[in-house]
Chains A and B, each alone.
Chain A
């Protein structure tokens, strides 16, 4: 048994070592050619990036489009590294006290149908996203509420004028859903056309889509990044079952799956294929929460909410849950690797984050007794998805039991679960998550505001809102950091209106012949595929 475990560990180390060394290794010369087959664990609702929110659309459709700016695919782990895609040169610094961004756009770019790209296309697209006409959905309109106007002084310049300086704008613009459409298509075909048609300026041209099965693309010879893409084409195969996706990589029906696998799947692949598998791992810009419903008594009592968070052993959970689930990192309201995120010392000052779990649990018991809730019963609503909801949910129930809280886990499929969470609101505590694409710290942390459309704790906290209002408009990094700590302390500790369990952890095992892909902290990022090549 020891021998077997040792072999597995060695193999995993080989795979992981390859991944870790990938960055340090001497740069390999990319080879042109080949078709990349990859599996996608979801189906495409429509092709329209402006109204969709799922990676099931991003993975197969993103390679057909370009953005104005994008996350640097060679350094996607850095949450502040953006590069020009359709703009020229470097991402511009703001002028006029941070309220004006002027982007110079590339010359000579054409859409796949041959139409030349100009600033009119960028403006028409951004107008659709930022100021959509009545009845036209735009899932990320709220990202751009600081935008006052979009103008085009000439054919290759676009200017965004903001109402106030904000750190939200640049990451929002780099969001991978902001596909640039042709003005001609929008004018001639209307706003619904892109739901089922593709015409972009991206590295690949659309070939075919078989609903529920696959999407195919071929190389765009006129792509604006010289010499790229390296691949002749790609095929994105829909495979909703994780076991199929895993077997597909093992049987080489697919080379990669970009969303991520749990640790056991990684170990199985490495065990079966050894160095033919490379593994990259990263913190994931998704966090799993337990949300107490303040409409339900006694969860309107902050002592009860604090007891719920104090009883959770996050450091222990990180160690053990990370062996079976896609969660790992202990963190606060901010993505763990971001410069604005709390350090370990800062985190440990928050309730429920201390090193001494027994002391925390003793405090939890005392708070429950003070609130007259020593025999508290909790109806815990959870989503019927294994990773990580049910795994972490089961762990949470056990954690609460250790301070005498009797929690019953009510697992429902996604539809009824969201109905409970958003409409019926008939739960005591619910599993919830915040999963974003580009790390946009100031926007991402709105999740914890009572007024946020995606906060389901049903509370009002004017003090927290006031802190956020300052954060939104603060330009000084040092002051901003202090404000974020205030916000975090109030939300997670003083009021405990939100309870963070653990941040997700992304694990991507894939065929070693896939080169040039670097893991990003989100499964929505770096999916244009223009940097990927096959070493076959």
Chain B
């Protein structure tokens, strides 16, 4: 097992370096820079001297190779520098958003797992009954409906319904308070994006659970377990469901990693100050330093998630760790 883990860890290094090279040079291909935007983008007077001072202060007038070396050295020494737009340390900028994105990702995953595994199992076990059709309709709708659209509908629905019922329109808070500061406020803000994203997430996982369970239920060892006279509940829970979870765990892991940085539009709809919103802002502001750091962080999250998925595989299926 330790050899297996070491091999997986070593594979992470070239992935990170490759991503670093790509993000650094691709970003520089985007026309414009942060100083142009800062001084010219507001329509006020523009003084070229001020733009040049800005470029010099940020170091973006230096040769590109020097900037690249700085970036790589900074990344491997955990010195990500300051945001070119706000001047704040990048670690601070990301840290603030990370806790919100992590909480939404965890809540959405909980929503998804709570919905997906029972529904997927019911759908597989009651194949081709009305229950199966209902679950499949529900899950296909979840895949078809974009999370951000569902988010917009949730907010509008809340505003309209609360106004109709109480006379006073209510919507979720638009500023974040950590759960340990004000749990009710926190949950009243984050439950809605968790439901909006968790629904789509659950839909994918429901379909995966159903198809994996259907496949496993046709395996010889299931037939053998039944032939031995094992109780159906144990056959399903101990033998079928555990083995059917392999692809489901993969989906849950990948979706979780996606939620950590990919909730770009949903975060905007709910005004969540998360990593997705920060990503969009850093790109639109041509904040190279912050975008690079964010891309590398997302790459790291994906790499780590895949690493843990590999470990889960090895735990769920002994053949993997022995091969």
Contact = CB atoms under 8 A, between A and B. Distances in A.
Q: Do A and B belong to a common assembly?
A: yes
Interface in B163-193: 163, 168-171, 173-176
B44 interface: yes
Contacts of B273: 210, 212-213, 238
Contacts of A424: 31
A238 B96 CA distance: 15
A10 interface: no
A373 interface: no
B: interface residue count bin: 35 or more
A139 interface: yes
A433 interface: yes
Contacts of B277: 212, 240
A141 B152 CA distance: 44
Contact of A54 (B42, B45, B46, B47): B42
A453 B171 contact: no
A420 B43 contact: no
B88 A137 contact: no
Interface stretch (A37-45, A295-303, A481-489, A525-533): A37-45
Interface residues of A, number: 66
Contacts, number: 166
Contacts of B269: 241, 243-244
Given A54-B42, A210-B96, A252-B169, A139 B50 contact: yes
A139 B97 contact: no
A493 interface: no
Contacts of A453: 45-48
A252 B53 CA distance: 42
Interface stretch (A64-72, A78-86, A411-419): A411-419
A251 interface: yes
Contacts of B92: 211
B315 to A, nearest CB: 38
A240 B268 contact: yes
Interface in B119-161: 152, 155-156, 158-159
Contacts of B39: 53, 139
A5 interface: no
Contact of B174 (A44, A46, A54, A253): A253
A54 B85 CA distance: 12
B33 A415 contact: yes
Interface in B41-67: 41-50, 53-54, 56-57
Contacts of B173: 253
Contacts of B169: 250-252, 272-273
Contacts of A434: 43
Interface in A164-196: 192, 195-196
- Find the residue from B30, B40, B163, B175 having the highest chain A CB count within 10 A: B175
Nearest to B265: A241
A248 B174 contact: yes
A214 B175 contact: yes
Contacts of B281: 43, 212, 240
B45 A140 contact: yes
B176 A213 contact: yes
B55 to A, nearest CB: 11
A47 B87 CA distance: 10
A243 B152 contact: yes
B15 interface: no
A413 B88 contact: no
Contacts of A454: 40, 44-46
B47 to A, nearest CB: 5
B206 interface: no
B86 A46 contact: yes
A254 interface: yes
A201 interface: no
B286 interface: yes
B304 interface: no
A137 B156 CA distance: 44
Nearest to A253: B174
Contact of A137 (B44, B50, B93, B174): B50
Contact of B36 (A39, A44, A210, A418): A418
Contact of B43 (A135, A237, A433): A433
A289 B47 CA distance: 20
A212 B96 contact: yes
B284 A413 contact: yes
A46 B82 CA distance: 12
B163 A142 contact: no
A56 to B, nearest CB: 9
A508 to B, nearest CB: 19
Contacts of B285: 415
B38 interface: yes
Interface in A344-371: none
B284 A139 contact: no
A58 to B, nearest CB: 10
A239 B174 contact: yes
Nearest to B54: A137
B206 to A, nearest CB: 30
Given A196-B87, A251-B170, A415-B33, 8 more contacts: A45-B86, A192-B87, A196-B88, A210-B273, A237-B174, A272-B159, A415-B30, A453-B47
Which 6 pairs of residues, A with B, have the shortest CB-CB distance? Answer: A251-B171, A435-B43, A415-B32, A419-B31, A419-B32, A416-B31
14 contacts: A45-B86, A46-B87, A55-B42, A141-B50, A210-B96, A214-B175, A237-B174, A237-B175, A244-B174, A413-B284, A414-B32, A419-B36, A435-B44, A454-B46
Interface of B: 30-33, 36-50, 53-54, 56-57, 85-88, 92-93, 96-97, 152, 155-156, 158-159, 163, 168-171, 173-176, 268-271, 273, 277-278, 281, 284-286
